[in-house]
Structure 1
Amino acid sequence: MSDAAGRVADSTGNWVDSHAPRWSRPYLRLSRLDRPIGSWLLLIPCWWSAALAAGVAHDIGRLPLVVALFFVGAFVMRGAGCTWNDITDRDLDARVERTRSRPIPAGQVSVTQALVFLVVQALVGLAVLLQFNRFAILTGIASLSIVAVYPFMKRITWWPQIVLGLAFSWGALMGFAVTLGRIDATAAALYAGSICWVIGYDTIYAHQDAEDDALIGVKSTALLFGARTQAALIVFYSLAVVLIGAALALARAGLPAWLGLAAFAIHLGWQISRLEIGDPALCLRIFRSNRDAGLLLFAGLLADAVLRAAFV
């Protein structure tokens, strides 16, 4: 099999294709390290909560270590989640143009090999989790049930994006569990806001596969909303901003955090105004831009945490 044949349809010209050892490429593609945007989107709520909790505590002493551990954990566990998703979706992936070149349906990796790789990634994630306190460890483990059921949701509900939101936003709880040893109303508001954000951006992402999904009977909010997608995004993105704003108010965050939220809100508004659901390439670009939206908010939260720690 040529290297070109081994590439995933919607991921070409990346470092995995050009620089990674050939034997490792199917596994790196399984964990989506050729497309790290999902890892960033899993990581960002972790960073939000770490910075906001540090601000509440007026202490940033452990924040650099927590940020680094969250980075490793998010990339590893997103890889494990994608591997599990590809194992469970292998038959569906073979029937969709964009996904039929993924390693399992393309025959680059067997299901047994993928399962072994899944276990290895999960063990690395566990090693990261064990660096935290007992409450944080238990909180992290609790997320696994959501991750396990997510791939099956598209078969039974038009709202699989809600379940993805529950999983991808879990980090909004983890920063509080790690830093403060609790999950309070501030963490809950941040979590709820992040869920609304995920529903919005994953609806945009799902429009890439809307036609294929309709043909094979897979459900999504993209199909549910259809031509009303922009109106739905206004609702969910507005809820995200309001709920995250509630978290900032509960945390008594300062001006930098609110400026970060304002930049985040402006970016979400730009996404809605730019979106054309019939243009898959544009949908993918707008989806990917959510990393920048999330980092704008994180920058504000981080600056606020630093200032609050400096003026205790």
Structure 2
Amino acid sequence: MSDAARVADATGNWVDTRAPSWSRPYLRLSRLDRPIGSWLLLLPCWWSLALAAGIARDISQLPLNIALFFIGAFVMRGAGCTWNDITDRDLDAMVERTRSRPIPAGQVRVSQAVVFLVAQALIGLAVLLQFNRFAILTGVASLAIVAVYPFMKRITWWPQIVLGLAFSWGALMGFAVTFSRIDPAALALYAGSVTWVIGYDTIYAHQDAEDDALIGIKSTARLFAAKTRQALMVFYTLAVVLIGGALGMAGSGYPAWLGLAAFAVHLGWQIARLEIGDPALCLWLFKSNRDAGLLLFAGLLADAVLRGA
């Protein structure tokens, strides 16, 4: 298969090497060749489920809910990316890293992408319908943020805030599923996740900073520029403090606090390693946030299991 058919920053993955050739453009539209975004959407969901299960002292539904959120996160991230590629097709054609995406590369027509978007959204809806009415309405409410996100980089220097609001929505969903309500602990967890997303997506955006400047796309990477390290210190510190507030309100035990400590150390390591002029390093550090999030989830899950035993 020719390199031209591949997305520039996702070569050599299973989509390129094992998936049927007819499916590859659609799998790329949904970013299954780059699952890191799905993981980053999923992790606040898992944090919230585990934290809520610890409060309820009941883990009986946790395995099923973890599995349902896994499916939902991957499908809805795919739908969101398809929507993003439809709206950004002209801009993507002007950026080196994104011009090989399926729509600007001519591998998928816009009409085909729309049909694929609807199909993914229906699967996501099927997952959402497994939960209570409050959780269903809470999940549907997130679509408004997802819909406007692709346009934010055209009008504000802070599109990462809107991305944070969308990607952190799962921090509310675990409580909605477990309690049919959103507690103060969920709101603190949500706020902490938003600041985490702002931080890691700023790192990600430094890959495109030069191209973005040429075509007028705004981002916190361009806004912070040489002061990115200091900005990350602020946002990552806020993430740890706010998530710690959620743990305190939830009455979490020592495993959760150990998970938060490991999460904090990982974020500090990212700040220490960052070199904004090195796109490959920026991508690697961005991807490492999956590991940071899993460390926190491991602590929250262990705490839930101990409290629910």
TM-score interval, smaller chain: over 0.9
Cα offsets for 1:94-130 (capped at 9, x unmatched): 0000000000000000000000000000000000000
Q: Deviations over 1:123-166 (max 9, x none)?
A: 00000000000000000000000000000000000000000000
Q: What residue is the counterpart of 1:260 in the other structure?
A: 259
TM-score norm. by structure 2 comes to 1.00
User: For 1:281 and 1:180, how far apart are their aligned partners in 2?
Assistant: 42
- Pairwise CA distance, 1:180: 1.0
Displacement of 1:300 in angstroms is 0.1
1:61 corresponding residue in structure 2: 60
User: In the alignment, which residue of structure 2 is the partner of 1:297?
Assistant: 296
Q: Aligned pair 1:199/2:198, yes or no? A: yes
Task: Give the distance between the partners of 1:186 and 1:271, measured in 2 at CA.
Answer: 27
- Give the match for residue 219 of structure 1: 218
Ranges in structure 1 where 5+ consecutive residues have no aligned partner: none
**RMSD value, Cα:** 0.5
Match in the other structure for 2:233 = 234
Instruction: Name the residue aligned to 2:248.
Output: 249
Runs of 4+ with deviation above 4 angstroms = none
Query: 1:184: how far off?
Result: 1.2
Q: How does 1:278-293 map to 2 (within 5 A)?
A: 278-293=277-292
Aligned to 1:159: 158
Spell out the pairing of 1:127-206 with structure 2 (5 A cutoff). 127-206=126-205
Distance 1:257 1:4 in 2: 44
Q: For 1:214 and 1:6, how far apart are their aligned partners in 2?
A: 26
Structure 2 CA distance for aligned equivalents of residues 197 and 282 of structure 1: 18
Matched, 1:76 2:78: no
The separation in 1 between residues aligned to 2:165 and 2:2, in whole angstroms, is 36
The residue matched to 2:121 in structure 1 has which SS? Answer: helix
Shift of 1:3: 3.9
- The residue identity in structure 1 corresponding to 2:204 is Y
Paired with 1:270 and 1:180, the residues of 2 have a C-alpha distance of: 36
- How far residue 175 of structure 1 moved from its aligned partner, in angstroms, is 0.2
Deviation at 1:4, TM superposition (A): 2.7
Query: d(CA) in 1 for partners of 2:164 and 2:97?
Result: 23
Aligned position for 1:17: 16
TM-score relative to the length of structure 1: 0.99
Aligned to 1:275: 274
Any stretches of 5+ residues in structure 2 without a counterpart?
none
* Amino acid paired to 1:162: I
Q: Distance in 1 between matches of 2:182 and 2:275?
A: 38
Q: State how many pairs are aligned.
A: 309
Residue 52 of structure 1 is matched in structure 2 by 51
1:285 to partner: Cα distance: 0.1
d(CA) in 2 for partners of 1:198 and 1:140?
19
Q: Secondary structure at the match of 1:282?
A: helix
Question: Hey, what does 2:42 align to over in structure 1?
Answer: 43
Where do 1:69-108 residues align within 5 Å? 69-108=68-107
> Aligned AA for 1:60?
I
